[in-house]
Structure 1
Amino acid sequence: MLREPFFIVITIAVLVVLGILLFGIGTFAKGGDFNRRNANRIMRWRIYAQAFAVLIIVIFAWGRSQGWI
């Protein structure tokens, strides 16, 4: 499974989502001017990355069920 390109892309996508989430939580906890200016933008990027990760996971699962992955 580690040699499948889709699995590697899924892993990277999930780690990107985790990184964005942790960065957003960190800025929220710290507060300040940076958080006020960028909190919504950071969480918006998390939602985009999460949607991409879910889409890739669904494509991977569907491809596996069809036998072409």
Structure 2
Amino acid sequence: MTRDSNGNALQDGDNVMVIRDLKVKGGTDLKRGKVFKGIRLSEDAEDAVEVREGRGTLVLKTMYLKKV
């Protein structure tokens, strides 16, 4: 089961918020408080989710996210 930084269970389609500033290679940094809607659980890693940012997809570790 995939859980956020507070221990809440995450599912496909949930909304999450970034809890700290994150540097993104080759892109714009993510600021604390940024909300992503309609996440997808990553098939590659258990503690990661895929989020849509602009035209691409980012894979973020759940330790930096909280469920909204």
| TM-score normalised according to structure 1 size | 0.18
Larger Rg: 1
| TM-score normalised according to structure 2 size | 0.18
Which structure has the highest strand share of the two?
2
